[in-house]
Structures are given as structure tokens and as C-alpha cells.
Amino acid sequence: MNRWLALTSRIGTSLTAIGLALLLISLLPSSSSGSSSQIGTQIQAGTYTANLFDQIMSPQQSATLTVTSDTPIDVYLVEVSSSFLYQWIYSHSGTDGKYYSNNVTYLKSFLGNFTQSIAYSQKATLSFNYQYTSTKITNATLIISNPSSSPANVQTNWKVSQQVAPASRVAALADWSIPVGLVLAIPWFIDLYQRRIRKPTTGANVAA
Amino acid sequence: MAKIQKGRGRPFVELFASALNEDYRFPLLEIFCFLYAIGAFIFAGFRFGLGGPSASGNAVAYGLTSSLLGFPLFIFVVLILKNVAFGLGNDLEKGIVQTFFSYPIKRRWILSAKLLSAVGVGLVPFVGILTAGMYVLAPDVVGPYIGIVLLTFATNLSEPLLVAGIVLLVTLLLKRGALALVLGIVTYFALAIVQGIVSVIAAFTNNVTGLQILSLISPSLIEGRYFSEQSTGPFFGPTTSWSPTFTDVLSYTAGSYIIVAIVFLLGYMYFSRRLNL
């Protein structure tokens, strides 16, 4: 076999091996022994809350967040701690004590200044469902804002599970690397097949 | 002139291709790639991030990279020692090297072709797959701190490369690989044990001279100390008399590679001038 074809084929077989390893990793189930919580609360009109979910997350953790409400609400997942959020609002809204009321105006001001910290958001929703996996070690805080004029009864469920790697990302890589590797390895397979076919003929000649 | 260069290049390529074929027989490379890919995720840990997002990005990147370099590094060591000891040892025993000496190519290029295949090609999947795996796992840890990731690879690889250099010398002296391979593996583990003993002595007596000398062979020690402000392991608490700076880490790493280069240079000199078959 041509030397370059042999090299390409070996790259292909190696890529297939890597793909199979990634596939195996993606099939490992995440640990269900992580922390979880189920909280029901009422959010007054024109206010927000950031105390329902506040955790330090690593890329080997995954948080499943579910929020349901009887009134349209805005839900944000931000990569800062709730204490940072409250401190920022306190330091930027004066010392009149209004920040205690958790007014949505202050939240909008904060989010306007920290747009890069918003990992995910959904506005005017009655049902929020999101699975969050961070790409670094970071705080993650769930903020639920009620901009409407009536109180919202909100039910929040969250669960943090441990994982070896983000399954979706790893599976996507495996889905690409295995077929590409197999295609690159085709010349090697053909060569192997041809050698197998030639072998009995050579054996008969030798015997003869 | 062009004709001479072509004449020099082709035997080198032939030798390199032959060494590659010998060192990475199917499915050896594939098995190692599979193990590296598995190891990149299974052994990943964020121990320096346990203090929360306040931990410096450099420390988190170092912690993540060093967490991977346990089992995958060991299988890399096995691969390169096997390649150097058996690859070259078999060629010496079977007299294949004598055939190589008849090629229109200098002896040092013959050894270069063998080492490029044994160590250089082995390094590519090791560093490539582990770095890519870490990037898939935590892009915001690896991407901005790729320098620290590569430095951690460099500090952890100098010791295996030194052992590979010693194995090369022993293989050339004994003209056989099996004993050199055993000696290489024993040396590798002996160095790990010595590191533990020296770290304990440093922690209990506050005498860091041994630790500083050993850091010249294994700069991962000084890098670990720099990032964690303590020695390796729970018993080996911080010694107050030595707080290395980042420049120290770089200097010790450079020093360790100078030692590695000297050992390989001795191997080249012996192979080029004194090896009689």
C-alpha cells in the first residue's frame, strides 16, 4: 500500500478509536446523588428573587432547573453569586434601603451591566426548563423576576448531578469522529481484504 | 546541491517509516489513543477550583492538567520506554543497525529517525488528545490558560524523557533492550518514591535542599508547590523556607530540559563515535 495511504488509514483507525472512547464516555450515566430542592414561593408584583438556586458549578456538574408559574415571569440563569448581585445593587442604588424591596428596576440595571454573565434567559414564560453545564468553575444563580402587576405563585425544582463529561458535547464529537475515521481507514480495509483473498492462492502454490 | 539534499532526505524518510512501522504496529497506536481519550475525562478533576470561582484561573488550569497526568502519563512512559528499549534494542541485537550503517546517511540521523518515531510521534497523540479532551470538558479553563496547560505538560514530561534518555544509553551500552526496559521502569518508580521521601524530609525538617535538587529532575514538584503553596500530599505541609516564584518554575523547567538534552547528547555521541557492532 502507498505510504501516504497507509498514514491516512492509521490516522483514520486512531480517530475511530478516539471516537469509540468518546462514545463510551457519553454513555456513562450521571450520578444521581447530587443535591436537589423543591421550593414553592410567591413573588410580589414588580419584584424578583435570587435565593432559590445559588451554587458553585464545575464542568463536571449539571444542574436541571424547572420553574412553573401561574403568571408570566422572566427567568435568568446568571454566572455570579446572589450575594454579588445584591451587593452590586446596593452599591449602585444608593443607601435609601430600596434594594431590600428587590425591585425589578434594579435587576434590569444589573443585567444591563452584566450581559456577559447571563448564561440563559427566558422572558414572559409560565414554564421554564433548562439543563445547565458550565464551561468553567463559576457561581450559578437562578433569578426569577415578576414584571407583571399581579403576584406570581412559583414552583421551583432543581437538581445538581455529577458527570464525567458533558454527554451531549462528547457524543456530538463521537458522532463525527467515528464516521470520518472509518472513511479515512477505507484503504486499509481494502488492503486487508485483498490480502485475505490472496492468501489461500499463495498457500496452494506453496503446497504445490 | 539539491541532489545531495535529496540523497540525504530519502534514507532518513525510509528509516523513519520503518521505525514507525515497527513501533506502532496495528492496533497499538489505536489502543493508546483510546486510553488517552478515556483518561482525558475519567481522571479530570477540579481540585484547585474547590475554593470556588475566586481560585485563580492559572491554578484551576494547572489543577485540571495535573489531575490528568497520572495514568495517561504512565501509559505514555510505557510506550516510549518500549519503543526506545525494544525498538532500538532489537535492531542492535538482530544486527539491523549494521544494515542502517551502510545507508548513505550519518549515524546521528539514523538515531534521530528512531527517536523521532519512538518519542516524537508518541508525544503527538498524548499531548493532542489530552489537551483536546480538556478543552471539550472545560473550554473556559483551557482556552485562556493554554500556556499554563502546556507548561504543566512540560514539567511533567521532563522526568519521563530523562528516563527515556537513560534507557537509550543503557540500551546502547548493553546492546539489548529487555534489561534496559526493566531498568527504565524501576528508575521511574524509584524517582517517584524518592520524591515522596524528600518531600517528607522537607516538610518535617524544613530543609528544602533535597527538594530543590529533585525539582531539577522533576520540575512538576516546584510547579505544584508554586500553585498549591505546599508540597505533594497531606503530610507534606508547606515549608516556610522556600516559596518559589513563577520565574523559578520556568528556570527549573529549563534546567531539567538541559539535563535531558545532555543525556540524549551522550547517547548521540556514543551512537555516532563509539558504538562498535
Domain residue spans of chain A = 3-27+169-207, 36-163
Identify which of A14, A164, A169 has the shortest CB distance to residue B42: A164
User: How close, in Å, is residue A149 to chain B by CA atoms?
Assistant: 37
Rounded-to-integer distance, Cα B122 and Cα B119, Å:
5
On chain A, the residues whose CB falls within 8 A of the CB of B22 are none
Q: Residue window 182-201, chain A: list those with CB within 8 Å of chain B.
A: none
Query: What pLDDT was estimated at residue A193?
Result: 87
Percent of chain A with pLDDT over 90: 62
Identify which of B33, B45, B55 has the shortest CB distance to residue A18: B33
| DSSP at A46 | T
Query: What pLDDT was estimated at residue B171?
Result: 94
On chain A, the residues whose CB falls within 8 A of the CB of B31 are 17
**Residue B63 forms contact with A (CB below 8 Å):** no
Query: What pLDDT was estimated at residue B48?
Result: 60
| DSSP at A116 | G
Q: Residue window 59-88, chain A: list those with CB within 8 Å of chain B.
A: 59-60
Q: Which of B18, B23, B41, B117 is the best residue to mutate to test the A interface, defined by the most A CB atoms within 10 Å of its own CB?
A: B41
pLDDT in tens, B231-261: 344 444 555 567 888 999 999 999 999 999 9
User: How close, in Å, is residue B20 to chain A by CA atoms?
Assistant: 10
The answer to whether A15 and A180 have CB atoms below 8 angstroms apart is: yes
User: Which parts of chain B have pLDDT scores under 70?
Assistant: 1-9, 47-55, 229-241, 277
**Residue B127 forms contact with A (CB below 8 Å):** no
Q: To the nearest 10°, report the CA torsion of A68, A74, A79, A80.
A: -110
Least CA distance to A167: which residue of chain B? B137
For chains A and B, CB pairs below 8 A equal 82
Query: What pLDDT was estimated at residue A89?
Result: 87
**Residue B27 forms contact with A (CB below 8 Å):** yes
Identify which of B41, B53, B55 has the shortest CB distance to residue A139: B53
On chain A, the residues whose CB falls within 8 A of the CB of B29 are 10, 13-14
Q: Which of A137, A173, A178 is the best residue to mutate to test the B interface, defined by the most B CB atoms within 10 Å of its own CB?
A: A137
Least CA distance to B56: which residue of chain A? A137
Query: What pLDDT was estimated at residue A94?
Result: 63
**Residue B144 forms contact with A (CB below 8 Å):** no
Query: What pLDDT was estimated at residue A102?
Result: 85
Tell me if A14 and B125 make a contact (CB, 8 A cut-off).
yes
DSSP chain B: -HHHHHHHHHHHHHHHHHHHHHHT-TTHHHHHHHHHHHHHHHT---GGGTT-TTS-HHHHHHHHHHHHSSHHHHHHHHHHHHIIIIIIHHHHHTTHHHHHHTSSS-HHHHHHHHHIIIIIHHHHHHHHHHHHHHHHH-HHHHSTTHHHHHHHHHHHHHHHHHHHHHHHHHHHHHT-SHHHHHHHHHHHHHHHHHHHHHHHHHHHH---HHHHHHHHH-THHHHHHHHHSS-SSTTSPPPTT----HHHHHHHHHHHHHHHHHHHHHHHHIIIII---
Rounded-to-integer distance, Cα B253 and Cα B250, Å:
5
Q: Which segments of B53-150 are extended strands (E)? A: none
Query: What pLDDT was estimated at residue B147?
Result: 95
- Whether residue A103 is predicted with pLDDT greater than 90 in this model: the reply is no
Identify which of A18, A135, A169 has the shortest CB distance to residue B37: A18
On chain A, the residues whose CB falls within 8 A of the CB of B36 are 18
pTM of structure: 0.86
Assigned superfamily of A36-163: GOLD domain (2.60.120.680)
Query: What pLDDT was estimated at residue A92?
Result: 81
Query: What pLDDT was estimated at residue B1?
Result: 36
Query: What pLDDT was estimated at residue A93?
Result: 74
**Residue A112: band (very low, low, confident or very high) from pLDDT cuts 50, 70, 90:** very high
Query: What pLDDT was estimated at residue B232?
Result: 43
Q: Supply the mean pLDDT for chain A.
A: 88
Identify which of A17, A137, A170 has the shortest CB distance to residue B34: A17
- Whether residue A135 is predicted with pLDDT greater than 70 in this model: the reply is yes
Query: What pLDDT was estimated at residue A206?
Result: 46
| Comparison of pLDDT for B125 and A136, the residue scoring more | B125
Q: Find where cell 507534606 sits.
A: B236
pLDDT in tens, A141-175: 999 999 999 999 999 999 999 889 988 899 999 99
- Whether residue A198 is predicted with pLDDT greater than 90 in this model: the reply is no
- Whether residue A34 is predicted with pLDDT greater than 80 in this model: the reply is no
